Amino acid sequence: MKKLIVANWKMNPETIADARSLLSRSLAAASKNKSIDFLAAVPAPFLADAVFKKRAKYLAGQNVSWGQNGALTGEFSAKMLYSLGVKYAIVGHSERREYFFENEEIIAKKIRSCFEAGIRPILCLGESTAIRRKGLDLVKIYLKDQLRQIIAGIEHSFIPKIIFVYEPVWAVGAEEPDDPESSAELISHMKSTLNEFFGVPKSKVLYGGSVDSSNIREILAKKPVDGALVGRASIDPAELTKLVKNAKI
C-alpha cells in the first residue's frame, strides 16, 4: 500500500503568492514518487484561492469547527471545506490542544462534524514528555484512553475513514523524532486497540514529529507506519523535494 505524506504548513507562508509557489513545487516533487500519496494541509484563507481550488483533492484543512453554522465568529465548518472540494482536515493537533485549549470532548465533536460533512479527519494523538518518561507501557494505556474518549461516540461506519496520527507532543518542533522502533510499536498498539474496541482491522496510522529528509526513509520503513505528518520540513521546497524523494522504501 502507498504511504501517505501530509504536509502541515501550520501558519505559513505569509502571502498568497508564496503559498501558490510552495503548493506547485510540493505537488511537482510529490508526483515524481509513485510510491506515496501526498496532501498539503494549508492555512484556511488559501483554500478558497482559485489556484488551490483546482488542486483541492491534494488539500486538507488544518482545523475545522465543531459547529455546523451560525454565531461562531472566526470559525469555519466542515461543510464549508467540502464545498471547496477539500476532503480532509487535521483535527486534534497538539498546537490546537495547547494554545486553543481543545480537549478530547471538543475533538470528538469536531470528528462528528467531519462525519456529517463527508470530510476525512486526520486525527492527531500523542503523549506529553511526562508520560513518556514513565515508559512505553504507560504511553500505551494513555493512547488507548485517548482513542476511546474520542472515538466512543462516533458512528461506527465512519471510523475506517479516520486517518490517525501518532504524534508525541514532545517530538513536535523538536530536534529529533521519536525512535522509529518505539513509534512503530505504539502505532501497532493503536491499530490493535482500534480493532479490539471498534472492530476496525485496518486503520491507517501515520507518524508525526520532527520528520525530515534525513529520517523519513527509516520512519517509513517500519511496516505499521502508514505515512508521516511533516511540519517544518514541508515549508522549504528544497527540503520537501528531498524528503519525498527519500520517501521510497
Establish if 121 lies at the interface with ligand PGA (CB under 6 A). no
Q: Which is nearer to ligand PGA, 81 or 229 (CB)?
A: 229
- Out of 115, 209, 244, 247, the only residue in the binding site for ligand PGA (CB under 6 A) is 209
The C-alpha cell of 75 is what? 470559525
- Shortest gap between Cβ of 41 and ligand PGA (angstroms)? 8
DSSP assignment of 67-130: S-SSS-TT---HHHHHHTT--EEEES-HHHHHHS---HHHHHHHHHHHHHHTPEEEEEE---HH
- Shortest gap between Cβ of 50 and ligand PGA (angstroms)? 27
Establish if 8 lies at the interface with ligand PGA (CB under 6 A). yes
Active site residue 93: yes
Establish if 232 lies at the interface with ligand PGA (CB under 6 A). yes
Contacts 24+ apart (CB under 8 A), 21-24: 21/237, 22/235, 22/237, 23/51, 23/52, 23/55, 24/51
Active site residue 189: no
The C-alpha cell of 168 is what? 508525541
Establish if 227 lies at the interface with ligand PGA (CB under 6 A). no
**Angle (CA) 40 249 94, round 5°:** 40
Establish if 89 lies at the interface with ligand PGA (CB under 6 A). no
Window 159-178: contact mask with ligand PGA (x via CB under 6 A): -------------xx-----
**Angle (CA) 44 50 52, round 5°:** 50
**β-bridge partners, 121:** 89
Establish if 230 lies at the interface with ligand PGA (CB under 6 A). yes
Establish if 210 lies at the interface with ligand PGA (CB under 6 A). yes
- Shortest gap between Cβ of 156 and ligand PGA (angstroms)? 28
**β-bridge partners, 120:** 88
* Residues marked as catalytic: 93, 167
Under the rule (CB under 6 A), what is the footprint of ligand PGA? 8, 172-173, 208-211, 229-232
